[in-house]
C-alpha cells in the first residue's frame, strides 16, 4: 500500500516557539496551501484518511474525507512543560541542555523522549489495515521522520537532516504482512 504522509500547513505561531503537542491555530495561508496539496493529490483514490487529533491536522484531513480516522498515536512530539515556550529559554535550562544532548532517550519534563514517540508510531503502523489501497495520513514533521526511520531505514540523524516543509507530501510504500 502507498502511504501519503502530509505535514500540516503553516500555523499561527511566532518563530522560535516550541509547540509540538499544543493545539495551535492554522495560519491565514491555509486556503492557498490547501489548494496546492489538493492539486498534488488530484486523481489519487484514497482508501482511508488518518489524522493527528490536533486541529491543524484534522482541519486539513477533513478536506479530503468526511470519514477521517483520528488517531492520537500520530500526534506531534509531546514537549510537556516546554510547550509554547521559546526554544532559547528551553536550551538555557540544565534539563534543556540534557535533552538536546540526547533527545532520543531523554524525556522532556512531563513529556516524552523521541524513542517513546517512535514506539507509538510503530504501533500505529502495525495497526494499519492490510490493503492495497492508498492511505492519506495528515500529521507532523516529527511523526513523518519517525515513519522514515521505521519504514525507510533512515538513521535518526538522517531523518532530522531531512527538511519537511509545511504541506509537503511524502509517499512511502508499506509492504503487506
Q: Which among 80, 97, 101 is positioned nearest to 20, based on CA atoms? A: 80
What is 2-173's CATH number? 3.40.50.1240
What residue ranges do the domains of the chain occupy? Answer: 2-173
Helix axis angle for 141-152 and 114-127, nearest 10°, is 70
Going residue by residue through the chain, which has 177 residues, state the pLDDT in tens, using 9 for 90 and above: 899 999 999 999 999 999 999 999 999 999 999 999 999 999 999 999 999 999 999 999 999 999 999 999 999 999 999 999 999 999 999 999 999 999 999 999 999 999 999 999 999 999 999 877 899 999 999 999 999 999 999 999 999 999 999 999 999 987 655
**In terms of Cα–Cα distance, which of 28, 32, 31 is closest to 11?**
28
Amino acid at each position: 500500500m502507498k502511504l501519503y504522509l502530509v505535514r500540516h500547513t503553516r500555523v499561527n505561531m511566532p518563530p522560535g516557539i516550541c509547540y509540538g503537542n499544543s493545539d495551535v491555530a492554522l495560519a491565514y495561508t491555509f486556503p492557498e496551501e490547501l489548494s496546492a496539496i489538493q492539486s498534488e493529490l488530484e486523481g489519487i483514490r484514497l482508501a482511508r484518511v488518518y489524522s493527528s487529533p490536533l486541529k491543524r491536522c484534522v482541519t486539513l484531513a477533513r478536506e479530503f474525507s468526511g470519514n477521517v480516522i483520528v488517531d492520537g498515536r500520530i500526534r506531534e512530539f509531546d514537549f510537556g512543560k516546554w510547550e509554547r515556550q521559546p526554544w532559547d529559554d528551553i536550551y538555557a535550562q540544565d534539563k534543556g541542555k540534557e535533552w538536546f544532548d540526547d533527545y532520543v532517550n531523554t524525556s522532556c519534563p512531563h513529556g516524552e523522549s523521541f524513542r517513546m514517540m517512535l514506539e507509538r508510531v510503530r504501533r500505529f503502523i502495525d495497526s494499519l489495515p492490510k490493503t492495497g489501497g492508498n492511505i492519506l495520513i495528515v500529521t507532523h514533521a516529527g511523526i513523518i521522520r519517525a515513519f522514515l526511520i521505521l519504514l525507510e531505514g533512515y538513521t535518526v540523524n538522517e531523518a532530522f537532516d531531512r527538511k519537511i516543509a509545511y504541506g509537503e507530501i511524502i509517499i512511502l510504500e508499506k509492504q503487506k504482512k
